[in-house]
Amino acid sequence: MKFLKTIKVKEFKEILESVPILRNEEEKVDIEESFNRIISRDVISEINVPHFRKSRMDGYACIAENTFGAEEDNFIELELIEVIQAGDIPQKSLIKGQCSYVATGAAIPENANSVVMVEFTEKEGNSILISKAVTPGTYIIEIGHDIKEKSIIVKKESLVDLATMGILASAGSKEVWVFKQPKVSLLSTGNEIVSQDVKNLEIGKIYDVNSVVLKRAIENTGVLVNYLGIINDDYEELKSALDKALEISDIVILSGGTSKGEGDLGPQVLGKYDDIEIMVHGVKIKPGKPIIFTKLKKKIIFILPGYPTSALSCFYVFIDNFLRRLSGYPLKDRFSKKFELGERIYSTVGRHEFKAVKIKEENGNKKIFPIKTGSEAMSTIFLADGYIEIEELESVLERGDTRRVYFF
Amino acid sequence: MKFLKTIKVKEFKEILESVPILRNEEEKVDIEESFNRIISRDVISEINVPHFRKSRMDGYACIAENTFGAEEDNFIELELIEVIQAGDIPQKSLIKGQCSYVATGAAIPENANSVVMVEFTEKEGNSILISKAVTPGTYIIEIGHDIKEKSIIVKKESLVDLATMGILASAGSKEVWVFKQPKVSLLSTGNEIVSQDVKNLEIGKIYDVNSVVLKRAIENTGVLVNYLGIINDDYEELKSALDKALEISDIVILSGGTSKGEGDLGPQVLGKYDDIEIMVHGVKIKPGKPIIFTKLKKKIIFILPGYPTSALSCFYVFIDNFLRRLSGYPLKDRFSKKFELGERIYSTVGRHEFKAVKIKEENGNKKIFPIKTGSEAMSTIFLADGYIEIEELESVLERGDTRRVYFF
């Protein structure tokens, strides 16, 4: 077992990025449910799209050669033999001197090789007067113009976006093979944590925030989340919850239990698994000390700090895009912009700090101000617009310094 | 009835932006389901958070004055009377010379006014040797530090993000009042349209793409979507489908039936409603000619072009953020960047064109290339990276010109 004591942000990010993406199991889903999923097999179209020659315009399908010489002052007359609306099956083939009305998208009758736009015609009973000659092929959409039969329309490993759904639907797919989503189990640990079902909180107890917030945050990355509830600080209880979580999921996220006090069972329990491969105990950041355990059996366990603000910060900085990479979801580009500091900010030397800040106007300029509460308060992240990063060796940022704010 | 023939992109956008946001009806939802919803009533916390004094650190809760004078070479001894883990209810009050162990987050015993970090102590049986004096208040989180009882924690009209869910959960909320989501009905019109359930397409028929793609696109804006199916080009059928849609929804989106051929029933049917207020027939854009009807009864009807590529383009450019504004969802900032044209592009004078383009490398530079197919092909938008806008009066863009690409 590799045991790393505490590591830097950069190292932690590298470890996370080195975790291989496992995509093995597949499932068939309705194309309506395929949005943001990853295609697991090349999709081959069984049909040409369109599978019939159709008109690009409202007009008269005809034999182009019959219109040659038509001009504004030299109408050529064709006999209208049929009206073909979109969806109709043409009933008559054209012969010399004939035409059929075709709506946009309607099938072209046999023998027609062009369409004259309505704008260049006049109708007199069953006679259509053509005022403009057309060349063969004009305004005709040929068979397979959009999609060719037997061609690969969507490649394996593609992310399904709206246009991909469109291509699949055009080709008549009802279902599509996709990779299964990674499964994540979430546990809240701590004797102090109680559910919102409890009405009167006892002294010492606090409401479980991570089950609500982390659950949703994790869901937003395109994985399946299984919330396994609140686990007491009890060795046996935590061990059996972890066993279950490892059995049913690819990734386990625990919140709470990462500090070094007497009540920290998480690392203790995890140390007992024989096949733990890499264990990182603590990343030098503030707030929080996330831990990652990578197991031999390709399962990954994170322990996030118990304070919801710390847990959510760690999630934003490390876990969000990690999970998106595994699920195949589009990565999150955190919007950022530079501003001046409106106030001096202190930081702890030796830890890379993600400091919650607010942007406020001062003398007409937008400036950065620190949030006064810390990771112990949920309101810290609630009141913040984003965070700034403060390097390990910086202890004071002066008013007037310029910093990049990463917005939530 | 105001009848506007065809209008420009700018006018259409102005009309869309002038549509008032209607938020009247409320519903109570579980906080787990409140993400991206709009709060309909100020939320007041019924509790202080924390509702007890707690420790910010693992350490010894004591009476600060008892530690005065303690230094590395001058330990002060306190008697350990209790161990308080997070979640425990303290059983003993302190008197002079005593201390209780407190874990991070644990309740502070009565009479304690500070916590000495474990790092500045040594333990010898029941004696705790303190090597650093602390001032009153050190490492104590006071009652209501995070949230004050009876204070407004989330204001009416707020969008619920993860931090908002956190604040609500911290205060013990299980449910929250939110505005109901706007209801959108979606209809595909056209005799040529058939569902993917049909296995062998007849000549003249095509698969329904908009029901899948537009449905998902609309869902992504935070509204509720009701797909009412494929409606034939039949006056009575469309009228009764529209009547139903207007009854059950705030917004109706029809796809198909906007061109001026004989089969265009949409505008015809809509013109029959007495209380149509503004009717825009056609926006001078390519691809497509979207229509908006605003009804007196505050219902809005869009007719989008039938071609899926046109419908999706119109959706991206006009409808996406319109619906997000109504639902309260975060608006979509379309990422854009300037590139050089790798090839000449032609455009139709008199229409503002949204031209699908691809970015390809040429001699080491990323350049813009037009997609060769048009709005008739779903592959056009599938193969495109984004679009460029071409002004109404531009007919040719030359190779080497610089244009902004808006990415999908």
Q: What is the DSSP string of B139-198?
A: TEEPTTSSB-TTSEEE-TT-B--HHHHHHHHHTT-SEEEEEPPPEEEEEEE-TTEE-TT-
Among the partner residues A35, A220, A378, nearest to B167 by beta-carbon distance: A378
Q: Which amino acid is at B3?
A: F
Q: pLDDT tens, A360-379?
A: 999 899 999 999 998 889 99
Could you give the dihedral angle defined by the CA atoms of residues B104, B105, B111 and B114, in that order, rounded to the nearest 10 degrees? 50
CA–CA gap between residue B51 and residue A201 (Å, rounded): 8
Residues of chain B with C-beta less than 8 angstroms from the C-beta of A381:
163, 166
Among the partner residues B163, B198, B263, nearest to A382 by beta-carbon distance: B163
Q: Helix (H, G, I), strand (E, B), or coil: what is residue B367?
A: strand
Task: Give the pLDDT of residue A15.
Answer: 85
Higher pLDDT, B329 or B292: B329
What DSSP string describes A354-407?
A: EEEEEEEEETTEEEEEE-SS-TT-HHHHHH-SEEEEE-TT--EE-TT-EEEEEE
Among the partner residues B85, B104, B192, nearest to A259 by beta-carbon distance: B104
User: Is the per-residue pLDDT at B309 higher than 80?
Assistant: yes
Residues of chain A with C-beta less than 8 angstroms from the C-beta of B167:
378-379, 382
Best interface-test mutation with B: which of A165, A329, A337 has the largest number of B CBs within 10 A? A165
Are residues B212 and A145, on separate chains, in Cβ contact within 8 Å? Answer: no
Q: pLDDT tens, B223-234?
A: 999 999 999 888
Are residues A58 and B201, on separate chains, in Cβ contact within 8 Å? Answer: no
Q: pLDDT tens, B63-72?
A: 999 999 999 9
**CA-closest candidate to residue B222, choices B195, B251, B193:** B251
Are residues A166 and B141, on separate chains, in Cβ contact within 8 Å? Answer: no
Mean pLDDT for each consecutive 10-residue tract of chain A (408 residues)?
69 87 91 96 97 95 97 95 95 97 94 96 96 96 97 97 96 97 94 92 94 95 95 91 93 75 68 79 78 75 88 90 93 90 91 92 94 91 94 92 93
CA–CA gap between residue B207 and residue B227 (Å, rounded): 16
Which residues lie closer than 8 Å to A62 by C-beta, 6 or more apart? A78, A94, A98, A99, A100, A112, A114, A115, A116, A130, A134
Q: Cα dist. A119→A375, B216, B260 in Å?
A: 70, 37, 11
Are residues A204 and B90, on separate chains, in Cβ contact within 8 Å? Answer: yes
Place of tokens 């349209």: B193
Are residues A171 and B207, on separate chains, in Cβ contact within 8 Å? Answer: yes
Q: pLDDT tens, B347-394?
A: 888 888 999 999 999 989 999 999 999 888 999 999 999 999 999 899
Mean local confidence (pLDDT), B317-341: 92
Tokens of B147: 């949230």
Is residue B299 within 8 A of residue B251, CB to CB? The reply is: yes
User: Is the per-residue pLDDT at B261 higher than 60?
Assistant: no
Q: Count other C-beta atoms under 10 Å from residue A153's C-beta.
A: 22
Q: At what angle do helices B162-170 and A210-219 cross, to 10 degrees?
A: 160
Higher pLDDT, B10 or A1: B10
Among the partner residues B31, B58, B209, nearest to A261 by beta-carbon distance: B58
Q: pLDDT tens, B90-149?
A: 999 999 999 999 998 999 999 999 999 999 999 999 999 999 999 999 999 999 999 999
Task: Give the pLDDT of residue A3.
Answer: 54
CA–CA gap between residue A387 and residue A404 (Å, rounded): 8
Place of tokens 């319109």: B322
Is residue A90 within 8 A of residue A84, CB to CB? The reply is: yes
Q: Cα dist. B395→A399, B46, B392, B401 in Å?
A: 53, 65, 8, 13
Are residues B262 and A171, on separate chains, in Cβ contact within 8 Å? Answer: no
Task: Give the pLDDT of residue A4.
Answer: 56
Task: Give the pLDDT of residue A260.
Answer: 47
Q: Measured on CA atoms in the order B66, B134, B170, A217, is the torsion positive or negative?
A: negative
User: Is the per-residue pLDDT at B260 higher than 50?
Assistant: no
Q: Helix (H, G, I), strand (E, B), or coil: what is residue A246?
A: helix
Among the partner residues A31, A207, A379, nearest to B169 by beta-carbon distance: A207
Are residues B172 and A207, on separate chains, in Cβ contact within 8 Å? Answer: yes
CA–CA gap between residue A313 and residue A336 (Å, rounded): 16
Q: Cα dist. B277→A33, B103, B289, B297 in Å?
A: 37, 67, 19, 9
Task: Give the pLDDT of residue B178.
Answer: 98
Distance from the Cα of A222 to chain B's closest Cα (Å) equals 14
- Output the average pLDDT for chain B: 91
Mean local confidence (pLDDT), B275-292: 77
Domain architecture of chain A: domains with CATH: 2-22+182-327 (3.40.980.10), 27-47+149-179 (3.90.105.10), 54-141 (2.170.190.11), 336-407 (2.40.340.10)
Task: Give the pLDDT of residue B176.
Answer: 98
Indicate the length of chain B as a whole number.
Answer: 408
Find, in chain A, the residue whose alpha carbon is nearest to that of B260. A58
Are residues B213 and A306, on separate chains, in Cβ contact within 8 Å? Answer: no
CA–CA gap between residue A359 and residue B44 (Å, rounded): 25
Q: pLDDT tens, B191-250?
A: 899 999 998 999 999 999 998 999 999 999 999 999 999 998 888 999 999 999 999 999
Q: Helix (H, G, I), strand (E, B), or coil: what is residue B94?
A: coil
Task: Give the pLDDT of residue B264.
Answer: 66
Count of CB pairs separated by less than 8 Å, A with B: 251
Q: Count other C-beta atoms under 10 Å from residue A23's C-beta.
A: 18
Is residue B93 within 8 A of residue B66, CB to CB? The reply is: no
